[in-house]
Amino acid sequence: MSRVVWVLNGPNLGRLGSREPDVYGTASYDDLVAACKSAGERLGLAVDVRQTDDEATYVHWLHEAADGGVDALVLNPAAWTHTSVAVRDAAAALAAPYVEVHLSNPLSREEFRHVSYTASHATGVIAGFGLDSYRLALHALADRLATGSS
Ligand code: DQA
């Protein structure tokens, strides 16, 4: 049976393509979903890709994932990365491994982006590769799940 991986995207990521293309590129959110789905198919993962601008919804998705049935997660908490203790606490309670991803490299941008509240419990962080950040994260998680390491 396929392993289940959730890809959870935070605020403003639904506007990819039109949003600051100089920073985030011209790929749309639909392109992001398609890239994750096709990587999932190649890797034998059942990938569910979601996006919300509502912090409570994001936290509830993390609670759902913590309750079971999700083998691994890819999190792009977007702006909440740098602001949200609530998202950080919900991510910290996950038993499943997660990789934090960013399209851009926050460390090469404004100073307020240099802090990640949400990476503290991540297995790893992949940033700066556009949609490839997600593909790389799914590859890394597929390897981890196959070898049983967390
Ligand atoms: C982002 C980086 C964050 O700093 C920013 O707030 C985002 C997107 C990224 O994917 O590069 O919304 O998470």
Ligand 1 centroid, distance to 39 Cα (angstroms): 21
CB–CB of 23/78 below 8 Å? no
> What are the beta bridge partners of residue 51?
9
E strand or H helix at 39, and its extent? helix 29-43
Q: Encode pLDDT of 12-35 as tens digits.
A: 999 999 999 989 989 999 999 999
Rounded Cα distance, 67 and 48, in Å: 16
Q: Is the pLDDT of residue 150 over 60?
A: no
- Which residue's C-alpha comes closest to atom 13 of ligand 1? 78
Which residues surround ligand 1 with Cβ inside 6 Å? 12, 76, 78-79, 81, 102-104, 106, 113
User: Any residues with CB less than 8 A from the CB of 136 and at least 6 apart, and which?
Assistant: 101, 126, 129
Nearest to 80 by CA among 114, 51, 116, 127: 116
User: Any residues with CB less than 8 A from the CB of 110 and at least 6 apart, and which?
Assistant: none
> What does the domain layout of the chain look like in residue ranges?
3-147
Q: Is the whole-model pTM more than 0.95?
A: yes
Q: Encode pLDDT of 125-138 as tens digits.
A: 999 999 999 999 99
- The CATH class, in words, for 3-147 is alpha beta
- Here the tokens at position 68 are 């079971």
